[in-house]
Structure 1
Amino acid sequence: MTGPLTLADLTGTDNALAPHYSRFRVAERLLLTGHSHQAWPDVAREAQLAAYDAAAELVDDKWDRAFEQADRVRAGFRALLGDADADIALGSNTHELVVRFLSALDLRARPRLVTTDGEFHTVRRQLTRLVEAGLEVVRVPADPVGTLAERLAETVDGRTAAVLVSSVLFETARIVPGLAQVAEACRDRDAQLLVDAYHQLGVVPCDLAADGLGDAWVVGGGYKYLQLGEGSCFLRLPAHAQELRPVLTGWYAEFGALATPADPDRVAYAGGGDRFAGSTYDSTSHYRAARVLDFFAEQGLTPRLLRAVSQHQRGVLTAAFDELAVADGLITRDRETPPEAFAGFVSLTSPRAAELQAALAARGVRTDSRGEHLRLGPAPYLTDDQLVDAVAILGEVLAA
């Protein structure tokens, strides 16, 4: 069928979206990797071929067409952020964008960064290395999540250059409430706030103004819930970003000023998001991303619908898991937190999470693990029966 789809089309024993993912064979496999690498719709392959055809036809003149794709990707991220006028810098991954952001800070005058102990390795590893180089990094415990924003806000002082925090924690899927408090504390002390929204976009609706994050930098990408594949990440710049001069950028960051005679002793910057741009890149990712974003629009896969599907599927998974009646000493889940406080996956806690992941993979159930967290990530193209079957196999693994 053609869109727009409804919740009824994407739940139950049949799934109207699944036929659009024939090459990933989503109807035949138990792919609980929706929080990490969702399947790509078939149109993504067509877009990749279009990128090849453009290069073959236009050779080095392909870039005008490539930049058109990039503009479509920026527009897609603006819509997902609820910020129609946002300046967007694009990058191949979030690490390069975070590094560009850090390079714009005056870390000599304000050598203190604040973060949490629940951040993904992109931030964790880079900040640990900066500690080795002499910076001060304060890691606020992520638990209890309900007070995390308040505790982060209390930690910001006059020596703080920036706070780096996720809107959804990557190990537990917990949504971090009250980040507007952190934004206000940063604003009051002239510090920057960088929010990692990677585990939010495509599964939890976002409206930066309504969330009190109009002054925040936001980083994320399409590798996970948005089905864009590799190479399509973004950095949303607040208005005051135009005052900053990032150290680590590429020659694309000077595009708007290349025609103007340059001061050989001072680097020039383009305006808008290009101020934080890199340089020559593989444009195939943007062809694919632009087409998949169009596909989502054609099918009616709005953030609101995707949230409803996600909450339904998480409910199916948790109910099936609870029916296993497994001893908590082996594996358990958070039953104290209300369902609406979670984002897009179910996190099960076990000291043998990695072993369970490997055993599930051997039986055809794709999941992943992070430390003691076994993560089960549904996706909108899966049926309820597939989710129940996957948990049943988990029960067999546990019994073994």
Structure 2
Amino acid sequence: MTGDWTEHFARFRDMAPGRINLAAHSHHDWPDVSFAGQGLAWIDAARLAGDKWDLVFGELIPAVQAGIARHLDLPDPATIAFAPNTHDFLRRLLSCLPVRRPPRVLTTGAEFHTARRQLTRLAEDGLILLDEVAAEPFATLHDRLLGVIAAGGHDLIYLSQVLFNSGATLGDLAALVRAVPSPETLVAIDGYHGYLALPTDLSAIADRAFYIAGGYKYAMAGEGCCFMHCPPGYGPRPRDTGWYAAFGTLTAAPGSSIGYPADGGRFLGATFDPSGLYRMRAVLDWLAGEGLDAGIIHRHAIALMRQFLAGLDALQLEALSAENLITPLGDPAAHGNFLAFRTEEAGALEAALAQRGIASDHRGDVLRFGFGLALDEGDVTDALERMSGLQI
């Protein structure tokens, strides 16, 4: 049996009562507390006008930092910076790299579009040298990455904790980080599909690796509230810098008038909409009150995934057969909270499912189904019933 937290998502579900959202990996339902958080953002803006920023930086941001740090076992919440999207952080990391030669960047062949598009474009013009490790076969990915990382020669290593187009994980993150031979190399982990989906303990690598995630998926807080843990001393002076990075205790390099704080604030940009942080604080407080963490969320998702797969076996849908499933199931640490099927009919299936009120999504020839706290066993049963007789 799984738990049932659907009552906490009543507002979101009631807005589209005929929809079954099997796309938690793409757009997770928001819990009701986020509605109150959004409203409070408006009220504080009206009550305080420009003075709201004292509250945002003095109360809101420290509260959200502390909540994130608890879930990631980070020793110092002040290492966390915020931005409207993860692309802002990628740009700032790239702006920390050497400029007298094309820097060398290592990544996988299965990064999300944010990184893949930007890195590929820079490589086209010879502004970076891009090394990609093939994601498949997943069973050997960790060891193959270890070998390439240990060989050295990279200025930035940018890797996803959970690969967006399969649900496969990189395995032991600490082992990958420890394999980096040069202390000059920046290491960044894209945790967007891992944060609050997989139990993640960063304590062993908090002093060495950046970690990037956000509220849009399993953090359940929506758009506009992304964050990055910034290890002390790495990337001390991003060239891509906004005026919000001028807050706090600043230190300027010799011969420079531009100072930066030593904490995560050095990676801040400029004026942003803080309402996403209000929602995120509300969600983090709700999780704490309910005693929920990534371990519980992951176990809940796995139970629903198993129910869904058993039902698909009974339906005998060829495109969604076990042979087409590419998510590496078995070890709970080897996958995230969504299932990925490789099929030429991925796009047509997504459209057919949408006609039956089932939200899924596809990326190329991969159809994805995501599971989270907003779903219960009854939702999965209902989805399977709607899929009966599905033909493409």
CA displacement, residues 253-273 of structure 1 (integer Å, 9 cap, x when unaligned): 111257x99999531112201
Letter in 2 for 1:39: D
Q: What residue is the counterpart of 1:275 in the other structure?
A: 266
SS in 2 for 1:114: strand
Deviations 1:46-86 (A, max 9, x none): 11111111111111111111222122111122112111314
Moved over 4 A (4+): 260-265, 328-331
Match of 1:4 in 2: none
Name 1:232's counterpart in structure 2.
225
Residues 138-163 of structure 1: CA distance to partner in whole angstroms, max 9, x if unpaired? 11100122322332233245531011
Q: Secondary structure at the match of 1:59?
A: helix
* Structure 1 counterpart of 2:54: 64
Please, what TM-score do these two structures have when normalized by structure 1?
Answer: 0.89
Residues 108 and 386 of structure 1: is their aligned pair in 2 closer, same or farther, counting only changes over 3 Å? same
- 1:224-282 residue CA offsets vs partner (Å, 9 max, x unmatched): 011111111111111232x6211001011111257x99999531112201011111111
Task: State whether residues 378 and 387 of structure 1, in contact with CA within 8 Å, keep that contact through their aligned partners in structure 2.
Answer: no
| Aligned equivalent of 2:28 | 38
Question: Which AA in structure 1 matches 2:69?
Answer: R
Structure 1 residues 213 and 73: CA distance shift in structure 2, 3 A = closer
1:43, 1:291 within 8 Å by CA — same for their partners in 2?
yes
Equivalent in 186, 197, 202 of residue 191 of structure 2: 197
Measured in 2, the distance between the counterparts of 1:336 and 1:173 equals 8
**1:150–1:178: 8 Å Cα contact kept in structure 2?**
no
Deviation at 1:316, TM superposition (A): 0.9
In the aligned structure 2, how far is the partner of 1:265 from the partner of 1:80? 37
Following superposition of structure 1 onto structure 2, how do residues 1-400 of structure 1 map, counting pairs within 5 Å? Answer: 8=2, 10=3, 15=4, 17-25=5-13, 29-67=19-57, 68-86=59-77, 87-109=79-101, 111-134=103-126, 135-156=128-149, 157-188=151-182, 190-210=184-204, 214-241=207-234, 244-257=236-249, 265-327=256-318, 332-334=324-326, 337-338=329-330, 340=332, 341-398=334-391
Distance (Å, rounded) in 1 between the aligned partners of 2:375 and 2:175 = 37
CA distance in 2 between counterparts of 1:43 and 1:120 reads 29
Change beyond 3 A, Cα 1:158–1:379: closer
CA distance in 1, matches of 2:328, 2:12: 36
Q: Deviations over 1:26-54 (max 9, x none)?
A: 67531111111111112211111111111
1:222 and 1:229 in contact (8 A); partners too: yes
Tell whether the 8 Å contact from 1:94 to 1:234 is kept in structure 2 after alignment: yes
Closer, same or farther: CA 327–32 of 1 in aligned 2, 3 Å: closer
Runs of 5+ unmatched residues, structure 1: 1-6
Q: Provide the C-alpha distance between the structure 2 equivalents of 1:271 and 1:197, rounded to a whole number of angstroms.
A: 23
Task: Please state whether the residue corresponding to 1:72 is helix, strand or coil.
Answer: helix
Q: What amino acid does structure 2 have at the position aligned with 1:169?
A: L
Listed as ranges, the gaps of 5+ residues in structure 2 are: none
What amino acid sits opposite 2:273 in the alignment?
Answer: D
Q: CA deviation at 1:214?
A: 4.5
- The DSSP-based 3-state class of the residue aligned with 2:248 is helix
Map Cα deviations across residues 282-321 of structure 1 (whole Å, 9 max, x no partner).
Answer: 1111111111110111122122211211111111111111
Amino acid at match of 2:30: W
Within 1, Cα distance between the matches of 2:237 and 2:76? 21
Q: Which moved more, 1:154-163 or 1:247-256?
A: 154-163
Q: Report the 3-state secondary structure (helix = DSSP H, G, I; strand = E; otherwise coil) of the residue aligned with 2:351.
A: helix
Tell me the distance in 1 between the aligned counterparts of 2:215 and 2:328.
31
Q: How many percent identity over aligned positions?
A: 36
Note the aligned Cα RMSD (angstroms): 2.4
Structure 2 residue matching 1:38: 3-state secondary structure:
coil
Distance 1:336 1:18, change over 3 A: closer
Kept in 2: contact 1:179–1:213 (CA 8 A):
no
1:272/1:380 CA distance change after superposition, 3 Å: same
TM-score under structure 2 normalisation?
0.91
Contact (CA 8 Å) 2:166, 2:339: kept in 1 or not?
yes
Q: Paired residues, what number?
A: 384
Question: What is the CA–CA distance in structure 1 between the aligned matches of 2:246 and 2:10, rounded to whole Å?
Answer: 42
**In structure 2, what is the equivalent of residue 3 of structure 1?**
none
1:45 maps to amino acid: F
